[in-house]
Amino acid sequence: MTAQVLDGKAAAAAIKAELTERVAALKAAGIVPGIATVLVGADPASQLYVGMKHRQSEAIGMNSIQRELPADASQADVEALIDELNADPDCHGYIVQLPLPKHIDTDAILERIDPAKDADGLHPTNLGRLVLNVNNPIHTPLPCTPRGVIELLLRNGYDFTGRHVVVVGRGVTIGRSIGLLLTRRDLNATVTLTHTGTVDMPRYLREADVIVAAAGVKHLIRAEDVKPGAAVLDVGVTRESDPETGKSVVFGDVHPDVAEVAGWISPNPGGVGPMTVALLMTNVVEAAERLL
């Protein structure tokens, strides 16, 4: 068998087309959804990522707000900028691009974000609300990468009801948060969280209907670890320098051979990454819609 490719670029394009219509409706009501980024320093990868987010948000009609500070900005400087965006009525959601310089208390900065403007959906208040809310509709920002994983499968006709999802990786961005979404009654999946310290990880992987690989370890998931027909989402990223060209090459957590065993597989890049950006913009548009 050869796995069905979960095309994140195509699914993200569909979401952005839907957002374009929603943004137009908001503008007709006098609201222009504003998305902002905070960039401290001049890290080239961060600049590239932030620029891409702004180009995509502008393309669907959003107001793009870029705020930058030098690498030697103080904790007080960054906090003042956070307070400014929290109070800005034209900004409906924003992110602080990580990593921040080492002298900045990252946790203090992230916790200072107004939870209603938390475009990443990872503010402690929003995660806490997600923990408490199993049954009812959610009216707060959701973690955008886990939401992107789920949406990618849903848009390819996958039904999570009764499925066993094994998550590999314990980071806040996806590993620790995706189970909160998957175990809600509207999805009704069962979730096992594993990580690089798990003893005999392949035993858990072979039981999984869905594997979400987010450990950031090159080719950690092998074909022999995957149940035939399982859905495999490759989220983790490892960058290595090509010895011949010197250019950075991206590798996922999933070995290419898995495609011969799995029923569905997301490429990396081109799978979950585009979905994360699309759901980031969705969080901001939803925040603006709550003002209607």
Burial 87-101 (b: 16+ CB within 10 A, else e): eeeebbbbbbbeebb
Question: Would you say residue 101 has pLDDT above 90?
Answer: yes
Residue with tokens 């030697």: 72
Which residues touch 186 (CB under 8 Å, ≥6 apart)?
none
Of the residues 16, 118, 120, 234, only one is catalytic, namely 120
Question: Would you say residue 26 has pLDDT above 90?
Answer: yes
Q: With contact defined as beta carbons under 8 Å apart, do 273 and 113 qualify?
A: no
Nearest residue to 280 (alpha-carbon basis) of 156, 121, 55, 116: 121
- pLDDT the model gives residue 1: 65
- pLDDT the model gives residue 43: 86
Percent of the chain with pLDDT over 70: 100
| 55 in a known ligand binding site | no
pLDDT band, residue 200 (cuts 50/70/90): very high
- pLDDT the model gives residue 269: 92
| 170 in a known ligand binding site | yes
Question: Residue range 13-23: average pLDDT?
Answer: 98
DSSP 8-state class, residue 275: H
pTM, entire model = 0.95
Please give the CATH topology (third level) of the domain spanning 30-115.
Rossmann fold (3.40.50)
All CATH 3.40.50.10860 domain ranges in the chain, comma separated: 30-115
In the annotation, is 72 catalytic?
Answer: no
Burial group, residue 20, by CB count within 10 angstroms (0-12, 13-18, 19+): middle
| 271 in a known ligand binding site | no
Question: Would you say residue 150 has pLDDT above 90?
Answer: yes
Question: Would you say residue 154 has pLDDT above 90?
Answer: yes
All CATH 3.40.50.720 domain ranges in the chain, comma separated: 143-273
- pLDDT the model gives residue 3: 94
Lowest mean per-residue pLDDT among 41-55, 155-169, 272-286: 41-55
Question: Residue range 74-95: average pLDDT?
Answer: 98
Kindly report the average pLDDT of the chain as a whole number.
96
At residue 38, what is the residue type? Answer: V
In the annotation, is 97 catalytic?
Answer: yes
Q: What is the residue-wise DSSP string for 51-110?
A: HHHHHHHHHTTPEEEEEEE-TT--HHHHHHHHHHHHH-TT--EEEE-SPPPTTS-HHHHH
Phi, psi for residue 277 in degrees, rounded to 5: -65, -40
- pLDDT the model gives residue 258: 98
- pLDDT the model gives residue 140: 95
Of the residues 16, 53, 117, 227, only one is catalytic, namely 53
- Residue range 143-273 forms a domain whose CATH class is alpha beta
Which tokens hold the place of 91? 């900004």
Question: Residue range 75-89: average pLDDT?
Answer: 98
Question: Residue range 51-71: average pLDDT?
Answer: 96
* Rounded Cα–Cα distance for residues 138 and 145 (Å): 17
In the annotation, is 56 catalytic?
Answer: no
pLDDT band, residue 16 (cuts 50/70/90): very high
